Amino acid sequence: MLYVPRFVVFVACLQHVLCWQSAFLDPNDRIELSWDVDDVAAEITFNVSAKTNGWVGVGFTPSGGMKDADIIVMWIADGEVHFSDRHATRQQVPIVDEVQNYELLDASEIGGTTFFSFRRSIDTCDITQDYFIEDGTSQIIYAFGETDPAGNDPSQHLNTNRGVRSVLLLDAPLGDIPVDETVKTIEFRSPSVPVPSTADTTYWCSMHRGPVIDKPHQYIGNKAIVQKGNENIVHHYALYECELNEEHNAEYFEQLLVDYAGGFSCYDPNSPIGALTSCQSLRVVWATGGIGDVYPAEAGYPIHKSTDSPLYYKLEMHYDNAAFEDGIVDSSGVLMYYTDNLRPHDVGILVAAMPVLYAQLIPPGVEEFVSVGHAAPECTAKYIPEEGINVFSILHHSHLAGRRMRTRLFRNGAEEPWLLNDNHYDFNYQQTRLLSEERKLYPGDQITVECYLSTSNRKKATLGGLSTYDEMCESFILYYPAMSLGFGESHPSLEYIHEIFGFENVTMNIDTMEYWVGDQLMEDVLLDFDWGNFDLESYQNRIRYGEHFGICAANVLEAEEGIIVSYPDVEEYQEPPRQC
């Protein structure tokens, strides 16, 4: 069985209000949170509905658990409503706040469902006992009991009656695909792939024929399709459009559809070369926890009608089988919406990143380490048109060590307000974020993506790589009108990395996606490294602020190298201070 994630539900919007949005907090749909932001009053209203006759607790946490959490507890006993604003400093019964900053609006207990509605300021200015709801990911903890408490505090709950879920409380909703008789759909899905149990990381590709059309169309949005039960192993996917040429023509791709009906390992040297070299135009990228994309009313991805053939696409799926589970078969993919009601502009994706490379080498046991990648001014000066491009949404992507992410913009000797910032990045909730207002990019702009990583719980060094346990640092920027620049990336000097860690003869085994130093795995070489006497501060400064080697590319196979880039010498942008 397949399903399209229904994580967020949208209803009518009112003036000065973003919209009611809602999310089920637990996997069994027993507790639902809905919210509505009033950006003029700087307030947010919440509704909570839980399938219990007992107490219910919902909280906001900076840590993913009870530590420093801001918690609301409510129950109804003998017709009396008990509602309190609380906090926790550790795993404990939540402590009632000295100042109650939450206003109860409504409460009921009917037919086994407990409901309550409350309101709070986005920033209550209770610095020590309330959570500051800021732009970006908010982690919501929940718990509920089967019965009302005997005293004034909630009773112990079952382990199955608690959890955490990330949401974007202050972001505008993605919007809806227009209801129009011209809008059609097509699915690109993995062909019942047996996910290998012998590896934790698998990149599996499949070829697909595009929609049959007799005139130009545009894709106007997409939704993720994740096979029920496989949510924990489908890590991300990318959909690439293939460019036909004399060698890799329609006949070639039609034969691939037959010869590789079950797909193929994306990075196997024996995989079809045409699928690698000709299918490089990124059309959709999705990562775990996301829903999909809805494009602005004035833009869409072009589907040009060819006189002799349809378009062809490559779907790249990343499976993360951490438990090496046997018997998993997957048919996940993407649902695309398209129309012949053409919009004035074509959508493009610009990837600002550190390339997936061992130059992203993070020492073990570090509370915070920053990886960066720059899209150099030379890149944007060459490709962005004079009138600029309009950024409407961004997807941040790092892996398990990721804690915070930021996409910065430098222009004419100054730093502009950040394009996107997330102080509570959650690997399990990677949703493309619609910007509150579109932002312009101009020729000569520098875009820098920063990933704030923590390896405090790791005893081994972490390398940039394709596995979930490796790291990445990428910002996928959606914009219009489209241009030919696809990637603006940078990495620190490999010679410096080799010198610091004593690497010689570095190679990569494409089958296992592992780096080797001579005849040893790079991670094994690093096990013997003397981290105790390592100058971490000097290394971090060089990796972050030193010269990077920049890469400009229409796609990953057409890279322009030789660019030297680093942070510009400007005053850093500062967020407006809290009004407390």
Distances (CA, A) of 284 to 179, 280, 334, 471: 22, 12, 9, 21
**Separation between Cα atoms, residue 303 and residue 577, nearest integer Å:** 46
> Pick the catalytic residue: 102, 131, 142, 203?
203
Q: Which helix (H) or strand (E) holds 501?
A: helix 494-501
What count of other Cβ atoms lies within 10 Å of the Cβ of residue 400? 18
Residue 203 a catalytic site member: yes
**Separation between Cα atoms, residue 145 and residue 157, nearest integer Å:** 5
Q: Is the pLDDT of residue 575 over 50?
A: yes
Note if the pTM is more than 0.75: yes
**Separation between Cα atoms, residue 386 and residue 441, nearest integer Å:** 10
Residue 548 a catalytic site member: no
- What the chain holds in terms of domains, given with CATH numbers, is 2-167 (2.60.40.1210), 174-344 (2.60.120.310), 347-580 (2.60.120.230)
Position 242, amino acid: C
Give 549's contacts (C-beta < 8 A, 6+ positions apart).
490, 491, 492, 493, 561, 562, 563, 564, 565
pLDDT digits (tens, 9 = 90+) for 171-198: 988 888 888 899 999 999 999 999 999 9
> Pick the catalytic residue: 397, 399, 424, 548?
397
For the chain, the straight-line distance linking the first and the last C-alpha, in angstroms and rounded, comes to: 51
| Confidence band, pLDDT 50/70/90 cuts, at residue 495 | very high
Edge-first strand listing for the sheet containing 446-453: 369-375, 446-453, 402-411, 414-422
Cα–chain-centroid distance for residue 285? 9
pLDDT digits (tens, 9 = 90+) for 26-40: 989 999 999 999 989
Position 102, amino acid: Y
- 5-19, 158-172, 365-379: lowest mean pLDDT where? 5-19
pLDDT digits (tens, 9 = 90+) for 267-283: 888 889 888 889 989 99
**Separation between Cα atoms, residue 213 and residue 307, nearest integer Å:** 10
Whole-number mean pLDDT of the chain? 92
pLDDT digits (tens, 9 = 90+) for 534-567: 999 999 999 999 999 999 987 766 777 789 999 9
**Cβ–Cβ under 8 Å, residues 290 and 219:** no
Peptide bond into 481 cis (omega under 30): yes
Give 123's contacts (C-beta < 8 A, 6+ positions apart).
42, 132, 133, 578, 579, 580
Cβ-based burial of 336 (10 A; exposed 0-12, middle 13-18, buried ≥19):
buried
Q: Is the pLDDT of residue 11 over 70?
A: no
- How many alpha carbons fall within 13 Å on the CB side of residue 200? 8
Q: Across 39-183, where does the E strand assignment appear?
A: 43-50, 56-61, 69-77, 80-88, 95-96, 103-110, 113-121, 138-144, 162-167
